[in-house]
Structures are given as structure tokens and as C-alpha cells.
Amino acid sequence: MTHGGHIPTFAQYAPQAFKEMKKVYVRYIQHISSIEKGTELQKKITKFSDSDLIYLASGCPMVPAPIRNINGIETSLMQQQIIRSYLKAHYGA
């Protein structure tokens, strides 16, 4: 209840803070858009080595299904890490 008063918006209450928040939020939206378009990979840190590989009866490593963004571009780095680990274990130094 305002008792007849006016409730200010956040922009009215703290114009400089609102301006900063708006700049940061726009950069965040651009970052998310880049990830969805596949032009920027998600920063995902995982530790994966050849000891984590699970092999099929054929001798090849089991690779999970790809994870794709809304544009059909693969965004999961796990598959790449599995393949690199396999190649390094069998053909690397």
C-alpha cells in the first residue's frame, strides 16, 4: 500500500545501477545467443582420460549421443574428449 504515493521503478530509484545492470544483461544475452548459434562453446571443464573409456565388444569406445543446440550444432565437448582419449591411448606417444 502506497498511501497515495508513487512507487518508483528501479530505473527511477537507482538510475546508474539500472544503467550498469542493463549493460551487463545485454552482454549476457549476447553470450547466450552465441552459445545457441554455436559460434561460442560453453565453457565446460571436465577431466576425462583413457581410463574413463568404456569399450564395446568391437573394441571401439562407447560414445554418448551428441547433444545439440537449437540449431542442430553439437555443443557437448564430452564426445570430442572421448575420441581424443581413444586416439591418444592407441596411436599417441
| Under 8 Å between Cβ of 40 and 69 | no
Per-residue model confidence as pLDDT tens digits over 9-64: 989 999 999 999 999 888 888 888 887 777 766 665 566 666 777 888 887 777 76
Contacts of 49 (CB under 8 A, 6+ apart): 85
Q: Are residues 27 and 64 in the same domain?
A: no
User: All 3 cell numbers of residue 9?
Assistant: 521503478
Is residue 75 scored above 80 in pLDDT?
Answer: no
Q: Are residues 35 and 49 in the same domain?
A: no
Left (φ > 0), alpha (ψ -120 to 50) or beta: where does 84 sit?
Answer: alpha
Is residue 89 scored above 70 in pLDDT?
Answer: yes
4 in any annotated domain: no
Provide the number of structural domains found in the chain.
Answer: 2
**Single-letter amino acid code for the residue at 93:** A
62 in any annotated domain: yes
Q: Are residues 53 and 25 in the same domain?
A: no
Query: Which element (helix H / strand E) includes 59?
Result: none
